[in-house]
Amino acid sequence: MKKIKYISVALLIIFVTLSGCESDDVFLKEKPVTFYTTDNAFSTSAQVDQVLVSIYSHIRDLWANPDETGWIFNFKGKGTDMYDVPVIRRGNTFSDYSIINPDHETFYQVYSTWYYVISRANLAIYAAELPEISWGSEEEKAYVLAQARFFRAFAYRNLAELFGGVPLVTDISTTPRYDFEPASRSETYQFAIDEMEAIENDLPETTSSGGRLVRGVAQHNLCELYLALGTQLAEDGNTGEAQAAFNESVSYGNKVIDGGTYGLVNSRFGARTDEQSVVIDVYKSGVFSESEKIDTVQFTPNYYWDLFQEENVNYQDGNPECIWALQVDYDTYRAEDGKSKLNYSRTYGPVFRDIASKHLTGTLENVGGRGISQVNITMYARDLIYADKWGDDMRNSEIVLRRRYKGNVESSPYYKQIVPWDEMYGTNLDATTNLNNRSEIYPVSCKIATDNYTGVEDGENRSNLFRDDYIIRLPETILLRAEAKQRLGDKAGAAADVNLLRERAQCSYMVTAADMDDSFNTILDERARELVYEECRWNTLLRMGGTIAVERIREYAHWPETKATLTFNYNLWPIPQTIIDTNKDVNIDQNSGWENR
């Protein structure tokens, strides 16, 4: 299947094609070819498209984080109710509010990375309209412009959800400016809505190329944007306008969910359909040698597990849940693009060989690969959401969230037997040691590990997955629509949407209108069950407004310093202090809760 070919060369070099000379006079005339501007750097439509490819590449690196950049882990959800850091990474915490303030690097990096996307999108929009650019058809040009305008709107959606109202920049800046006027949060949402509605029909229903934008991506984002706008309008006291926005959110959700293009997977599919059992070998002391194989662990695959296998992620692979996916390719990784990987086993994987080394060690498939746990899942995300009546759930099945590990240390009393979690955690030890141990070992999700690592024969060490990965999957659209229905007062409709996912996951308990609490805990818990390792949790919590974010962080953070230091309320990240200081000609107010911190 054809995929986006990502680029990493400086854009101005890529965009320029040098032509031959016409005469000696022309050749001798001084004409420095390295002085490129926005007006002379483009000569073909393909060069304009390369600007878009650079944005796709940027977003891939932002989502997958192949360089293991600290602030990207924070952006993706570290420090929320779902993710924290293990004891060995405690210096990289994003939940100790004695050191989190408007000068924190994360806020500036996230803020500026979205303005990078905006600047690239503005460049593509400008270049597409240059008279010297020749297009194969009006449809080709419209699609390029639609992608650029989508990316700009997508960036503003993210900025508004995280930071509130921000300056709306729609032109290329050629001189330094210090007078950007911030829009309100509602105005920022509305700008993104207007952009996406304008280009909705210029995006194709489907494409032959994995990763390229399609109409469903815009419609999903419009569902989220109208939900976000309605939430803000309601908070501002504009009840009627808020209700209208929530209705629009439901309408766009309907287009995606009920439009006939997408659907929930509810039967086995894809590259591993014929496998009725998954067998993981256990090697003595974790030594990968046939002579050291001592046992196996067997699991039964299901269709939720199928969603996260190689060659199964893209819509073009026959996956009707995929609305938008970042593209990863092993051959490209080997040949030219070292970032074409998902280093999830390494960055998100537990470290049994440290904490449970008396019973369980190694870096092979039986422990989820070569994990170093840059980020862990909290007790909430691993256990609490599956407690009691919530436990009977395909997403909690052994093949999806693996909880059984056999001892492979010969001196252990659990040699070739399942090692109890209480034994690994050290429940009989002091509370601090137990808390530390729980931070570093946890069940392994099929989203971050595999039983069949690509590239081992080439020297890969079970750190990376080489499959595509979701940016938007249909269940998130369903949960956005559920939230919009609940905010309209239709709790029964919200419960019905949540149950679309629970029925698909073969849960024994179906929610009712009575479960749809006013703090949206049922929806947030369902998002955690369905979208762990997928959603940007900060966007979700801050978009919901009120004190939802801080209350859940206080309740579910792993480390005690979070509750001790989060002594103030906020529902937006702070505007980076550097941004406030640099914009010297126009005052930008700091967001509530972060003043004087």
> pTM for this structure?
0.94
- Summarised one tens digit per residue, pLDDT across range 340-386 is 999 999 999 999 999 999 999 999 999 999 999 999 999 999 999 99
Distance CA 52, CA 60 (A): 12
The dihedral over CA atoms of 180, 182, 183, 185, expressed in degrees to the nearest 10, equals 150
Beta-ladder partners of 418: 406
Distance CA 402, CA 273 (A): 20
Backbone angles phi, psi at 218, to 5 degrees: -65, -40
The pLDDT, as a whole number, for residue 174 is: 83
- Summarised one tens digit per residue, pLDDT across range 503-513 is 999 999 999 99
Q: Which two tokens stand for residue 29?
A: 């005339």
The model's confidence at residue 486, banded by pLDDT at 50, 70 and 90, is: very high
Burial 418-456 (b: 16+ CB within 10 A, else e): ebebebbbbeeeeeeeebbbbbbbbbbbbbbbbbebbbe
Q: Give the Å distances, CA to CA, from 299 to 277, 282, 313.
A: 6, 13, 21
- Summarised one tens digit per residue, pLDDT across range 435-460 is 999 999 999 999 999 999 999 999 99
Structural domain boundaries of the chain?
Answer: 278-306+328-467
In the chain, the amino acid numbered 69 is T
The model's confidence at residue 493, banded by pLDDT at 50, 70 and 90, is: very high
- Summarised one tens digit per residue, pLDDT across range 61-90 is 999 999 999 999 999 999 999 999 999 999
The pLDDT, as a whole number, for residue 10 is: 38
The pLDDT, as a whole number, for residue 357 is: 97
Determine the Cα angle at 505 with ends 503 and 510, to 5°: 40
Distance CA 537, CA 334 (A): 32
The pLDDT, as a whole number, for residue 6 is: 66
The pLDDT, as a whole number, for residue 381 is: 98
State the maximum Cα–Cα separation within the chain, in Å, rounded to a whole number: 88
- Summarised one tens digit per residue, pLDDT across range 235-279 is 999 999 999 999 999 999 999 999 999 999 999 999 999 999 999
DSSP state of 128: H
The model's confidence at residue 41, banded by pLDDT at 50, 70 and 90, is: confident
- Summarised one tens digit per residue, pLDDT across range 167-226 is 999 999 888 999 999 999 999 999 999 999 999 999 999 999 899 999 999 999 999 999
Cβ-based neighbour number of residue 531 at 10 Å: 20
Find the length of the chain. Answer: 597
When computed from its CA atoms, the radius of gyration of the chain, rounded to whole angstroms, is 25
Contact 479, 530 (CB under 8 A): yes
- Summarised one tens digit per residue, pLDDT across range 295-318 is 999 999 999 999 999 999 999 999
Q: What percent of the chain has pLDDT over 90?
A: 92
Q: Which two tokens stand for residue 522?
A: 């049922």
**What residues have CB less than 8 Å from 450, skipping those under 6 apart?**
309, 310, 345, 365, 369, 465
Determine the Cα angle at 66 with ends 61 and 71, to 5°: 75
Between these two residues, 429 and 388, which has the higher pLDDT value? 388
Between these two residues, 530 and 209, which has the higher pLDDT value? 530
Q: Which two tokens stand for residue 282?
A: 């256990």
- Summarised one tens digit per residue, pLDDT across range 543-578 is 999 999 999 999 999 999 999 999 999 999 999 999
The pLDDT, as a whole number, for residue 34 is: 52
Tokens 């990316």 correspond to what residue? 151
Cβ-based neighbour number of residue 512 at 10 Å: 14
